[in-house]
Amino acid sequence: MPGPTMFLPPPRARRGAALTLVFAGVLATGAAAGAWSADARDGRKPTDARGASRTAARSAASAIGTGGVPRPLDHRTVEAAAERAERDGKSGSQAAADEITRSGDRWSAVYSAREYEGFARALDGAYVGVGLSARRGGQGRTEVDSVRPGSPADRAGIRPGDRLRAIDGAAVDGRPVTEVVARLRGDAGTGTPGAAAPGSPVRLGLQRGGRSWDRTVLRERLSTESVAVERLPGEGPGAMTVTRIKVDSFTKGTGERVRRAARSAGRGEGVLLDLRGNSGGLVAEAVTAASAFLDGGLVATYDVHGSQRALEAAPGGVTRPPLVVLVDGGTMSAGELVAGALQDRGRAVVVGTPTFGKGSVQMPTRLADGSVAELTVGHYRTPAGRAVDERGIVPDLVVHGDAERRARTVLSGLGGGS
């Protein structure tokens, strides 16, 4: 039986060693008072139910605060359904998926052992992809935000600022950044993280100026660079120098890298914590990242089967540099946890657009055939008690265009223009 709040990826430890706040797009969750292990995670996004290996049933009844909460699934019910199916010579994972579909919970899902290992690898800081990141441009367009040196995208001549028109023939304009990333990695459609093997092809439709072209590149296994730190000089007389900390996801080691970056900000400088497009990750790492800017205290509360628990920041974070957090609709789960904590604690001004809204807690159960069912067991709230699920974090300053420039203006104001 799974432990009360714990969850570990399948190959490395028994079921029940670390709870997940599953957030969309990829993966999820936390570490307070010994209640969370470093392997807790969040971050998968709902996908269409396809095949025996998974379901992510969508239901309006799953909305929190709009009149309905999906019927909680007991892991024993799912295990029993899978075992009965196996005895009858049927698919146990499909039987488990059917139970989830009937529950109306779009966040619970069934994954094959191979798919689940893909999650574990991603959280360890490795993934299969082409080495580019995407951003939302004007008029709903999708643009290349950055290209990793030496990556397949780099070798194909793709540059930051190029418009990404399509992936494998599917138009991506207007699609969430997280969905675009999933397609680049081969996760979309089937919803199978880790399903695209190194060497698998992906056809990209691109545009630069008036030129449009298609280019097929081969995915490779890449290591995750989840944190990028840049020191930005002030723009104009008296403008504040800014340490920009861009966090793409909360994989292992991310929290400590954020802590080091926060401590590197000089006197009279500001910190811009950029969580736009952050797809979540290990909540232990998210709590460590929040702790970098707090001197102890509450980060979030969560309930599991009706039991209330708390995630606490470690003492000793930097509390002097003015702090602005950038968010958007691609900021999910663990990213929302950090943004909500810093906002509620009065430590940061949050700038951007409302976040995704993924605040439910999943716990894994291994089935007899080796597949894994992740079942919703509860939800987390910000320090002020705000629910995140289906609501997201609403910025203090809602900005739809040039959010980073506005964020730097806010930072200068917080620092008194010095």
pLDDT in tens, the chain (418 residues): 332 222 222 222 222 223 333 332 223 222 222 223 333 445 443 322 223 233 332 222 222 233 344 556 788 999 999 999 999 999 999 999 999 999 888 888 898 887 787 777 777 777 788 999 888 888 889 999 889 889 999 999 999 999 999 999 999 998 877 778 878 988 654 444 445 789 999 999 999 999 999 999 999 988 777 899 999 988 776 678 999 999 998 988 999 999 999 999 988 899 999 999 998 888 899 999 999 999 999 999 988 877 889 999 999 999 989 999 999 999 999 999 999 999 999 999 999 999 999 998 788 899 989 999 989 888 899 999 999 999 999 999 999 989 999 999 999 888 754 4
Nearest to 285 by CA among 107, 106, 122: 122
Sequence-ordered list of residues with C-beta below 8 angstroms from that of 219, at least 6 positions apart, any chain: 128, 129, 130, 152, 185, 186, 196, 197, 198, 199, 200, 201, 202
**Same-domain check for residues 210 and 236:** no
Query: What are the distances in angstroms from CA 97 to CA 19, 101, 206, 345, 354?
Result: 20, 6, 37, 40, 31
**Same-domain check for residues 191 and 209:** yes
Q: Is residue 165 part of a domain?
A: yes
**Is residue 208 a contact partner of residue 199, using CB atoms and an 8 Å limit?**
no
- As for how many domains the chain has, the answer is 2
Query: What are the distances in angstroms from CA 368 to CA 76, 96, 249?
Result: 12, 11, 32
Residue 206: give its domain's CATH number: 2.30.42.10
Residues assigned a catalytic role: 333, 358
Instruction: Tell me the C-alpha distance between 292 and 281, whole Å.
Output: 17
Residue 256: give its domain's CATH number: 3.90.226.10
Neighbours of 47 (CB within 10 A): 23
**Same-domain check for residues 255 and 157:** no
Q: Is residue 56 part of a domain?
A: no
**Same-domain check for residues 206 and 352:** no
Q: Is residue 79 part of a domain?
A: no
Instruction: Tell me the C-alpha distance between 349 and 322, whole Å.
Output: 9
Structural domain harbouring 195: 127-223
User: For residue 237, what pLDDT is reported?
Assistant: 67
Q: At what angle do helices 283-291 and 254-264 cross, to 10 degrees?
A: 10
**Is residue 279 a contact partner of residue 336, using CB atoms and an 8 Å limit?**
no
**Same-domain check for residues 405 and 258:** yes
pTM beyond cutoff 0.75: no
Asked which of 198, 223, 248 is the last residue of a domain, the reply is 223
Instruction: Tell me the C-alpha distance between 148 and 375, whole Å.
Output: 35
**Is residue 220 a contact partner of residue 202, using CB atoms and an 8 Å limit?**
no
Displacement of CA 318 from its chain's centroid (Å): 24
**Same-domain check for residues 293 and 388:** yes
